[in-house]
Amino acid sequence: MISLGELSREIEHLDPIPVSQPLLAQAIADPNADLQKIVTIIEYDPALTANALKLANSAYYSPGVPVHSVREAVARLGAGRILQHSVGRMMHGKLAQACPGYDLAEEELWHHSVAAALAADNLPRYAKTAIHPVAFTASLLHDIGKFILSRHLAGEVKEEIKKVEHEHRLPYVEAERAVLGFDHAQVGGVIARRWNFPDTLADAIARHHHPRHDGENSALCAVHIGNAVAKIIGVGMGSEEMNMLADSASARSLGLTPTTLEALCATVAYELPSVVAIFEEESHGVQHSHR
């Protein structure tokens, strides 16, 4: 059975990500970073700039007035959304793969990830609370640990997790931890730190099954809710199914009610196909530009 140390060495060999992404995430997480710093980081990366402008002018986000500069794109979308789409475009190829260790077919983890990100994106409309902008990217990456761990959950290990889950009546993630000594959320946090994403973002991934609701990390609560919303709309059940804690205190800390939670679910289910299409269009665009 693999240890977290061995897995960390495997994570060391993951493809690096463009340096602009953690830089942008750190600027977003820094309360003292000004707009000019964010604009400069985006402008120094041609791919990020192209993505920001294309997204700002997409049918989904554009009110019909064309955007010509990065500054206008940031004003229209927010830097958090630009980072989310840039990371999503990069991660599509990985997250769209099947994860047999979690009974997730091709595209399932990808759609689950986009649904969680879309929920975080729409949270302010229903929760009436400011959501930390790294929540958009953290939600998109919250199950990246499953992508890495899946190949190590073949046969006996997978069966052992199910057995412990049923015999001890544990949430899936606790059974995973009991068998492996760690869980997929922690692995996701290790990956986020390896990529130099800020602690706020890495913690929101690492603790998405164990949220705090002390108001310190609204991104963590948003990721927790995003994951629940994706399950409620039936996307990415996998072997975990609905056997997970859904923390009402996290929902209330964001100002959600049971009724606004349902309204949020309806919006995410309705908009998911068009948002998945935006991400996939973007990722195809980038593949072409690298040829």
Partner 1 sequence: MTAQILTERRLVVGVADMKMTNRESDVIVTHALGSCIGIAIYDPTAMVGGILHFMLPDASANPQRAAESPWMFGSTAIPAFFKKAYELGATKPRLIVKVAGGAQFLDDKEFFAIGKRNHTMMRKIFWQNGVLTKTEHVGGTVSRTLFLEMSSGRIWIATGGKEIDL
> Can you give the binding site for partner 1, defined by CB under 8 A?
171, 228, 231-235, 237, 241-249, 251-252, 258-263, 265-267, 269-270
Minimum distance of partner 1 from residue 151's CB (angstroms):
21
Angle between helices 108-127 and 218-232 (to 10 degrees): 120
Tokens of 26: 């750190």
Q: Closer to partner 1 by CB, 60 or 270: give it.
A: 270
Between 193 and 209, CB nearer to partner 1: 209
Which one, 20 or 122, has the nearer CB to partner 1?
A: 122
Rounded distance between C-alpha atoms, residue 53 and residue 73, angstroms: 6
The least distance separating partner 1 from the CB of residue 63, rounded to whole angstroms, comes to: 18
Q: Is 38 in a helix, a strand, or coil?
A: helix
> Which one, 20 or 250, has the nearer CB to partner 1?
250
Give the pair of three-digit tokens for residue 28: 């977003």
In the complex with partner 1, which residue's Cβ is closer, 45 or 247?
A: 247
Report the nearest approach of partner 1 to the CB of residue 260 (Å). Answer: 8
- Amino acid found at 27: A
In the complex, minimum distance from the CB of residue 7 to partner 1, in angstroms, rounded to a whole number: 27
3-state secondary structure of 2: coil
Decide: 179 and 157 in contact? Cβ < 8 Å: yes
Angstrom CA distances, 207 to 77, 173, 181, 234, stand at 27, 11, 15, 22
- Partners of 104 in beta bridges: 99
Q: Are 51 and 86 a contacting pair, CB within 8 Å? A: yes
Three-state secondary structure of 92-110? HHHHCCCEHHHCECCCHHH
CB of 89 to partner 1, least distance (A): 26
Q: Work out how close the CB of 39 gets to partner 1 at its nearest, in angstroms, rounded to a whole number.
A: 35
Q: Closer to partner 1 at the Cβ: 68 or 125?
A: 125
> For residues 83 and 115, which CB has a smaller minimum distance to partner 1 in the complex?
115
Shortest spacing between CB 261 and partner 1, in angstroms? 7
**How far apart are alpha carbons 103 and 180 in whole angstroms?**
18
**Rounded CA gap, 221 and 131, in Å?**
9
